[in-house]
Structure 1
Amino acid sequence: MKQHNSSSLLYRILFSLRTHIVIGYVLLMGFSSVVGTFIIDQILFFHVQERIKKSLVQEMQEFRMLAYGANPETSQPFGDDIISLFKVFLKSNIPDDDEFLVALLNGQIYSSSPLALPEWFKSDSQILKTLSQIKIAEKGEFSTADGEVIYLAQPIITDKNHGVFVVLHATAGERDEVSNAVKLIIQVMFVVTVAFSFLAWVVASKVLKPLNLLTQTTQSIRETDLTQRIPVKGAEEIAQLTITFNEMLERLETAFSSQRDFINDASHELRTPITIIRGHLELLGDDPQERQETIELVLDELDRMNRFVEDLLLLAKSEQPDFLNLEVVEINSLTLELYAKAKALAPRQWRLDAIARGKIRADRQRLTQAIMNLAENATHHTKEGDAIGLGSDIRNNQLRLWVRDTGEGIPLSDQERIFQRFARGLIKHRRSNGAGLGLSIVQAIAEAHSGRIELFSRPHGGSTFTIVIPLKPIPKSSNRGNKNLLFHRPES
């Protein structure tokens, strides 16, 4: 068991996101170090070569100035006196490190500075033979056992003598210095990479800590407990992920809570008629009149259960994309049709407030169902002789369909709650025995049309329910999840 736990721990460490981040960081650092070191090496050596060439050119310019000038010892031009020219110049000029000033006379080394010359420039070397025979000034480089050598050569030819002044510079020393500098850079980069890899491991642990908390929270979440949240720190991507996860938990908690409430309320609503039916059937006697009364009661309760189930199915269908059958609807004919149907619901003072003219793309039957629910709800909260108004209007490129009544009104504390499923108003004279799904259905139909429902009500001042729908075409994926539009009360 211990071996299994240790191997599992090793696997998690080797294949964890933190390890991948550190490995990626090390690979990136290593690649950048290799490329950077190569570039630094080339740049340094290029600058060394440029400095060497400048030094050679300077030495050659000084020699030429002296050759075309006067002998400082005699104040007379050198003329054909090549030997004096070589003596004066070599005596008065000191070469740089790895630099050699050589005077060749008639194929031999006449003098040099410094006196000790490297093996590759001895009297019998091919390089010396080649340089001693040149007749025009030239520059170049050649390879030796000690590395590359750069040179400038200036011939001086007279009737009796063939002289050549050569400035040479061996680059092996500078090459070694550059190599040593690059090696030092590599060592420093290695130490820095190791140190920063360790720091990257520590930083990655802190950065990924919210992800670990996210994993732990996810593993600990159960259907019965969705209250856990992850602390949000900072404003970077991990914090945004944490916020998004917490918001998802909020939605899940709300959904599960709503589901539990729905199941509890639905079971309660169904349990009551079932209990009534069962009680009357158990006490059913042989009296025909009693049997008839029981059958009528049972049928009434079954009708109520049937309506309740149909309402639940309708709310479930409202979440589907094919809930609406859209068509072009004439608003004025729809309004007149709604008014005609509403007048048959109950004896009230029915009034047609306004009729809008125009067209809208909507589901005629669903809108009729919503307005009839509102009208029927208005009859339950009014009595004979009270006024109920119905009308339509177009304002701000939106269709407004409303039902208003002069009933007892809705308390402010209930105005948001009544849109919830199974919610019933707390009005004393309420005459409906429904399950409290009517306004939820109206709201679902309004949202399916990318609209909303507005409520304006005052105690003892009546209520006005308004369905607001945009006139623009409804997209296939309608905006169905806008919970902030579930309840809206306009300013009075």
Structure 2
Amino acid sequence: MVLGELRNVMRSTRVRILVAILLATTLSMTLVGVSTYTLGRQQTLATIDARLEHSAELIAFMVVGSGDSADAPATSDAAVDAVMRRWIFAEDETAIGVRADGSTVAPSAPSAFRLDDDLQLLDTITARSSRGVVTGEATGDRSVRYAIIPVQVVGDPSVAHVVIATDVHAALAESRGILAVEIVVAVVCLLLLGLVGWQLAGGLLHPIRLLRDAAARITESDLDERIPVVGRDDVSELTTTVNGMLDRLDEAFTSQRQLLDDVGHELKTPLTIVRGHLELLDPSDPAEVAATRDLALDELDRMSSLVADITELSTAGLASTLDREPVDIEAFTASVHEKATAISTEHEWTLGEQAALTADVDAGRLAQAWLQLADNAAKYSPAGSTIVISSRFDESDDPALVLSVADDGPGVPEALRERIFDRFTRVSGGRGVAGSGLGLSIVQAIAAAHGGWAEVEDTQQAGSLFSIRLPLAVADDDEGSDADLDLDPDETAAIPRSAMAQAIALREAQAAQEAAEAQTTAAMQAGPTPGDARPTIDAPPRSRAPSPEDDFPDLVDTSARRSAPEDHA
């Protein structure tokens, strides 16, 4: 059990970080200490060699100078004896004279050690005697660095020698002392570093432990807990990021639950209607059977449209599904206006301002959202009123492309403007308007996928102004753009574009939109057949003008509808 706990401790991130820091610091200090000692030793040996060379020069000077004196030694052995009597030694230095016959002469002055006490070392050194200065290093009872200086007096053919040696171990005592101090300091520093590192690692990893504990406590039904953010380091930024992720997960789960509740509520009414009529159906009455069949098919169509709208909403907000391409907004605005005129013949459709620029957008999706706003305006505007479709480039601090639809309808109450783009939300204007309440939600999702948003505001006179606002990054004019278009520079003051690319992009956008409309028309004309096992829901959501039979309230808050007694009947 103790071994298992020790293994868990060693696997701890805090311990691993501390061990890694201590190992790296120990290795660094070791390299520094070894390098310092090696350099100090080499410098000390170089100083010893320089001193030995200087001693050889002094001895040679003493021997040569004694030849001019009246008491100059007559033989080489006498010269060696004189040197041994006069030589003053350093604290780690000694010397010995070697006569021509091989006998040794001890120094008169006190020295740190005696060479004649270590005969093996002395034999090793004197074996290299020659007529020139010889330096080297020998090891016996101690390690010495030496110089053998030949001594020969004029008139004496024999050659004596003076051996000067320095104790390397004693000379390196200062370097060893420095190394010992470095080791002590390194140990103390490692202990202090270990204590500081333990506390620091614990403090830095504390948010991660909180994150681990919070993640263990968080469940799908409880996403409210957040991790406190302390400090401004990378771990704190990670905590902030995780909190943001939890916010998004909480929002996603809440939105999912709300969607399921709303869908269940919206589907309950048609299912209850169909079930009630089927239970009361008299199979023997052909007229009642036909009426019940028509009612059931109508309710199934409504459920099919609702499911298709939900499917559309789930994919409209995904930026990865967009097929972006350069689109001429001026021509695109005119195209959307032309298509909007087919929505309702009871209104006057006006083409307003047109933005003369090119934007990188998904023309099909954007046209779908824009036409949804136009269809919404037609539903809520009185017959004969004017609906204006326009686009403009907003040159404020945050440049944006604004696609708008203005109507003369009753407007949107200020209290509902923030919720108008929520799912299953409709404006109550005193008359019935059919719809699932998902159209504006799809518009908002498409705008969000483009990096923008949808908004609504009242016009100066009457009615509402619905807009899709898409932020734009304005680029500098490309070289050669005006030449490609063969236009006056004033005509290309907006974002530059190629006429060929505009034409291709516009044709492709129009073709995609026409294909979608053709598919929708075909699905509406075909309708469900009696043999169908279930209604088709793959067709894109379709908009239609309000019919007199529609008696649904214009804006129904789903939470209020659930609490109404008739919904639970």
TM score, norm. by length of structure 2: 0.69
Equivalent residue of 1:410, what SS? coil
1:276 equivalenced with 2:273 (yes/no): yes
Match of 1:206 among 190, 203, 209: 203
1:242 equivalenced with 2:236 (yes/no): no
Pairwise CA distance, 1:196: 4.0
CA contact (8 A) 1:409 1:459 kept: no
* Aligned equivalents of 2:51, 2:252: Cα separation in 1: 83
- Counterpart in 2 of 1:63? 59
The one-character-per-residue Cα deviations of 1:110-156 (angstroms, maximum 9, x if unpaired) are 4424477234665995346436x522233333333322433252433
CA contact (8 A) 1:21 1:204 kept: yes
* Aligned equivalents of 1:109, 1:249: Cα separation in 2: 93
- Alignment CA distance shift 1:155-1:395 (3 Å): same
- Alignment CA distance shift 1:264-1:60 (3 Å): same
* Aligned equivalents of 1:192, 1:253: Cα separation in 2: 48
- Counterpart in 1 of 2:44? 48
* Aligned equivalents of 1:80, 1:429: Cα separation in 2: 143
- Alignment CA distance shift 1:68-1:345 (3 Å): same
- Alignment CA distance shift 1:241-1:134 (3 Å): same
- Counterpart in 1 of 2:541? none
* Aligned equivalents of 1:313, 1:21: Cα separation in 2: 50
Match of 1:99 among 93, 97, 100: 93
Structure 1 segments unaligned to the other structure (5+ residues): 475-492
- Counterpart in 2 of 1:39? 35
- Counterpart in 2 of 1:404? 406
CA contact (8 A) 1:403 1:466 kept: yes
Match of 2:420 among 418, 421, 427: 418
Equivalent residue of 1:47, what SS? helix
Pairwise CA distance, 1:398: 7.3
* Aligned equivalents of 1:108, 1:32: Cα separation in 2: 53
Structure-to-structure mapping, 1:33-432, within 5 angstroms = 33-69=29-65, 78=72, 89-106=83-100, 107-112=102-107, 113-114=109-110, 117-119=114-116, 122=119, 125-127=122-124, 129-130=126-127, 133-160=129-156, 162-175=159-172, 178=175, 182=179, 185-186=182-183, 189-190=186-187, 192-193=189-190, 196-197=193-194, 199-284=196-281, 295-319=293-317, 323-324=321-322, 334-346=332-344, 347-354=346-353, 364-392=363-391, 400-425=402-427, 427-429=428-430, 431-432=432-433
Pairwise CA distance, 1:289: 6.5
* Aligned equivalents of 1:111, 1:461: Cα separation in 2: 126
Pairwise CA distance, 1:19: 2.6
CA contact (8 A) 2:94 2:164 kept: yes
CA contact (8 A) 1:122 1:128 kept: no
Pairwise CA distance, 1:24: 2.1
Pairwise CA distance, 1:95: 0.7
- Alignment CA distance shift 1:16-1:279 (3 Å): same
Pairwise CA distance, 1:341: 3.5
- Alignment CA distance shift 1:289-1:99 (3 Å): same
Pairwise CA distance, 1:342: 2.4
Equivalent residue of 2:433, what SS? coil
TM score, norm. by length of structure 1: 0.79
CA contact (8 A) 1:223 1:256 kept: yes
CA contact (8 A) 1:102 1:111 kept: yes
Equivalent residue of 1:432, what SS? coil
Higher strand residue share: 1
Calculate percent identity across the aligned residue pairs.
30
- Alignment CA distance shift 1:75-1:24 (3 Å): same
- Alignment CA distance shift 1:90-1:462 (3 Å): farther
Match of 2:10 among 3, 11, 14: 14
Quick one: which amino acid aligns to residue 382 of structure 2? K
CA contact (8 A) 1:18 1:205 kept: yes
CA contact (8 A) 2:322 2:362 kept: yes
Range with bigger deviation, 84-93 or 158-167? 84-93
* Aligned equivalents of 1:208, 1:96: Cα separation in 2: 60
The one-character-per-residue Cα deviations of 1:416-464 (angstroms, maximum 9, x if unpaired) are 3222222333x43464242321112123333445554454435863322
Quick one: which amino acid aligns to residue 439 of structure 2? G
Pairwise CA distance, 1:383: 0.8
- Alignment CA distance shift 1:40-1:313 (3 Å): same
* Aligned equivalents of 1:156, 1:356: Cα separation in 2: 112
- Counterpart in 2 of 1:464? 465
Range with bigger deviation, 80-89 or 203-212? 80-89
Quick one: which amino acid aligns to residue 63 of structure 1? I
Pairwise CA distance, 1:291: 6.0
